Structure formats: C-alpha cells, structure tokens
C-alpha cells in the first residue's frame, strides 16, 4: 500500500466518521493530511488499504483504535499566552469577582495544555498579591493523546519563548540530565488544575457554573449547526455573569441568540433574557 492510496470513497468514509465522532468538518483538500496521519496506523494493524482500516473503525469492535485515529486527525495547535489581550481581560474579571466563592475557569478545548497553564499563571499571580479570590481551573479536550501531555505539563524548551521571564522563573523548571532541552510546569501549579476528556458535541457531564469559558480558535472546524449546539451547551454551563472567550478573529454573530459581545472575542449572556 502506498501513502497516497486514499480513494474518494475512502475519504468520504473517514470524513463522515470524523464528523460523527467530533463534529469536525473536513474538505477533500485534507486528503493528504488524512493519509499522512493514518498511514502508520494502517501498517501497525497489518491491513492492506485505508478502506480496510476505516471499516475496522466503523465496526465498533476496536474503540481504542477509533480513539487513536480521532486523536491523530484532530488539530491541536496551541502555545503559551496566545492572543495575550484575552489574559488581561481574564485578570480584570478575576480582580472584580465575588470573593465569597471560587472563581472558576474552563478551557473547553485545551489541547496540550498551554492555554490552561497560562490561565493558571495569571490567576496565581493575582492570588500572590492578594488581588483575586480562590480559583479553580479545568481543562478538557476530546483527544486522550493531548490530555496526557497537558497533565504532565512537560514541554520542549522552545515553548518557553512566549512565557514572560518573571513567570518562567516562578512557575517553570528547566530539565537537566536526560530531560535537558525540556520545560516542566511547577508541580504546585499543576496540582491546582483538573483535566478531563469531554466531547463538546455530546451531552456535557454535570458541571458547576463557570465564570469564564475559553473556546478559542475551535469553531472554525465546525459547520453552523454544530457551532450552535456547542455554544448552546456552553451557555448552559456559564454563571449568570460568565464570559465566553472565542478567538480574536472569530464571531458568534448569527450563531446563537442570548449572547452579547463585550469586546474582540468575548461574549456575555444577554441580561435582558
């Protein structure tokens, strides 16, 4: 079998399966990506074609292989302090928050965890100088593969470039010996974060209301009906004064009713409703 031997029919099969499992829509120009990411899985399973591999996924007899395939096909680009303006807004919200209860933040598609740890660093800094209530941070993703990295808090050293120097010194450790060239988030910060596998297109588990939900640069992978379903579910998990963050270049205009824009990529529940 050759790397580029994915037929149009095979592509439709995996496209529909990916949409069913994750809500992500892919177009025919992604055929090369599908081939490159799943070719080794076809070989590891000793199959002679992509079609045979996709039939195995569809059979339901190997849920672990299905999860592996979905992990490989989902995009997970992220980095520390991405779109930094949002973290300044987050700090302002935390400073004004009710101190009689925890300030709760959820990164709903956290990928390998850089966004979650950025949130935690910002809140830990406010707590350090007495300008924030107690806080809780949760990260979730559909991919078990990226969640393993997120839980470990262990990254290549070049990831440090986006972290301010003072936070790098306070919350990160440089690897030595066999871990040279890597960066580890300090255990005290890691221990304050909860991670869970959550599929946003499925009914959500029972969740406490969140003061802030991050869902940045994710909606571009969904069609309009899936966007509406995901945002509607997240709205139900928001506190009355909660704020939803999407990407700076994303807009929820025309997606759902009941949200009002408060700035680039930020939305609140419409109090008039």
**Which domains does the chain show, CATH number per domain?**
8-73 (1.10.155.10), 85-154+185-269 (3.40.50.150)
User: Is the pTM higher than 0.75?
Assistant: yes
What's the average model confidence in pLDDT over 85-96? Answer: 97
pLDDT at 106 over 90: yes
pLDDT at 110 over 90: yes
- Residue from 138, 141, 211, 216 carrying the catalytic annotation: 141
pLDDT at residue 270, as a whole number: 87
Give the pLDDT band (50/70/90) at residue 5. Answer: confident
pLDDT at 3 over 80: no
Pairing of strands 193-197, 154-156: unpaired
In percent, the amount of the chain with pLDDT more than 90 equals 79
Task: Determine whether 82 is an active site residue.
Answer: no
pLDDT at residue 88, as a whole number: 96
From 80, 60, 77, select the one nearest 20 (Cα to Cα). 60
The Cα 134–Cα 62 span in angstroms is 43
pLDDT at residue 4, as a whole number: 60
Give the pLDDT band (50/70/90) at residue 81. Answer: very high
Sheet strands side by side (includes 266-269): 193-197, 135-141, 103-107, 210-214, 238-245, 266-269, 259-263
Question: What is the chain's mean pLDDT, rounded?
Answer: 93
What's the average model confidence in pLDDT over 177-192? Answer: 96
What's the average model confidence in pLDDT over 217-222? Answer: 91
What's the average model confidence in pLDDT over 163-167? Answer: 96
pLDDT at residue 271, as a whole number: 76
Task: Determine whether 37 is an active site residue.
Answer: yes
């Amino acid at each position: 079998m050759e790397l580029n031997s994915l037929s149009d029919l095979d592509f439709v099969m995996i496209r529909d399966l990916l949409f069913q499992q994750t809500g992500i829509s892919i177009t025919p120009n992604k055929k090369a990506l599908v081939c490159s990411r799943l070719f080794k899985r076809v070989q590891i399973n000793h199959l002679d074609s992509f079609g045979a591999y996709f039939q195995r996924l569809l059979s339901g007899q190997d849920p672990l292989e299905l999860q592996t395939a979905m992990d490989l096909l989902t995009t997970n680009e992220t980095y520390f302090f991405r779109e930094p303006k949002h973290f300044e807004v987050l700090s302002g919200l935390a400073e004004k928050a009710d101190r009689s209860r925890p300030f709760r933040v959820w990164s709903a598609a956290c990928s390998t965890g850089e966004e979650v740890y950025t949130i935690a660093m910002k809140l830990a800094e406010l707590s350090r100088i007495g300008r924030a209530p107690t806080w809780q941070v949760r990260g979730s993703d559909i991919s078990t593969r990226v969640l393993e990295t997120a839980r470990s808090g262990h990254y290549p050293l070049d990831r440090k470039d986006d972290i301010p120097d003072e936070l790098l010194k306070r919350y990160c450790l440089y690897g030595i010996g066999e871990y040279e060239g890597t960066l580890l988030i300090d255990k005290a910060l890691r221990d304050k974060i909860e991670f869970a596998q959550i599929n946003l297109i499925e009914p959500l588990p029972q969740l406490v209301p969140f003061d802030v939900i991050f869902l940045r640069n994710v909606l571009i992978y969904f069609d309009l009906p899936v966007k509406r379903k995901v945002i509607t579910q997240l709205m139900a998990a928001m506190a009355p004064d909660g704020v939803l963050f999407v990407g700076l270049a994303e807009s929820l205009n025309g997606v759902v009713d009941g949200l009002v824009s408060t700035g680039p990529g930020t939305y609140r529940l419409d109090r008039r409703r």
